[in-house]
Amino acid sequence: MFKFTSHTIVNNNVCEIYQPLSYFASIWMVAGVKYYICPNVKTIILSCKTLVGPTQKMNLFQSVTSALDNTLASDPTAVIFGEDVAFGGVFRCTVGLRDKYGKDRVFNTPLCEQGIVGFGIGVAVAGATAIAEIQFADYIYPAFDQIVNEAAKYRYRSGNLFDCGNLTIRAPWGCVGHGSLYHSQSPEAFFAHCPGIKVVIPRGPVQAKGLLLSCIADKNPCIFFEPKILYRAAVEQVPVESYTLPLSQAEVLQEGSDVTLLAWGTQIHVMREVADMAQEKLGVSCEVIDLQTILPWDTETVCKSVVKTGRLLISHEAPVTGGFAAEISSTVQEECFLNLEAPISRVCGYDTPFPHVFEPFYIPDKWKCFEAIKRMINY
């Protein structure tokens, strides 16, 4: 008996990872013929999809560019639009695309977020693939009505006669070290309360490309938040050709037995460091999970982990009150109450506007998360 858990890339292959009920050494089966023994990971790859073409070193913004390039090349209806995207955008995610595909397919818009999303809804309803860029997630709020009352409800209000499922909205997201009030926000929780859209946040270049292409292909409007501090922070071998990773599927990055650490985007890298600290300093085994999709989120993977560990720490940069950690905490408490060994812990941003010089004190860093683990273990 095996259960699908996630995807990975091994030797230029996208591989499906399955978790066996009882297995003490892993066998990685690449393309069905080549085997890798991995005694430290209790998973087995049972099937693989060989990628077409080579991989290339890319950072996160380059992997986004690659995904957009693949889409424009394969879909003649696809258009990309937003403030300054024609010359590459603030973070260079669309650089070179106008020159390659023309000004009718990659073009600037006025500085009007509600107009950008409203236009994207119309493009998608007409049957084309619309990829809208909001220059910073902090400025998505003027488009809130268009997203929540129009895009999310278009299919429902027409009884599925019409929809704008071909709409994807990209936006740089999260803190960056010096962004202060208007260039540091994490607004995912606002949209998690809105049925009819999907909300996705990647942690690195491989996930960014695969998940973005999944959003573009998905038949529901999607919001794709890109952690801007990671745009140039990490380089991975990313397939040049198109590939997708499943939405609404959390990924177990590290297995453990004592505490479940759950995060997404930038914060997942903090969780991995905290897991190493907990093992080294406390002898505590942490299971690290990247949620990846905020809406609809993968309750099964998270709850299965908490049943095993009995403890859950959730961390995100957004303010703690009404943050998405609260929804996760509530669901896990309902589903796993009898398995909990300690109260669920949330380590999040404070209930203040995002500060400038005090950003190091605001963010949920590894030390705050480490102290939360100690409290749970000693409960």
Catalytic residues: 113, 183
> Which residue shows structure tokens 């998690």?
192
Q: How many CB atoms lie within 10 A of CB 18?
A: 17
Cβ proximity of 184 and 216 under 8 Å: no
Tokens 């960056």 locate to 176
Paired tokens of 305: 């982990």
* Interatomic CA distance for residues 146 and 143, integer angstroms: 5
Residue 25's Cβ-count burial label (10 Å; 0-12, 13-18, 19+) is exposed
CB of 140 closer than 8 Å to CB of 113: yes
User: How many CA atoms lie within 13 Å of 329's alpha carbon, on the beta-carbon side?
Assistant: 18
Q: And the tokens for 110?
A: 């006025």
Contact 244/231 with Cβ under 8 angstroms? no
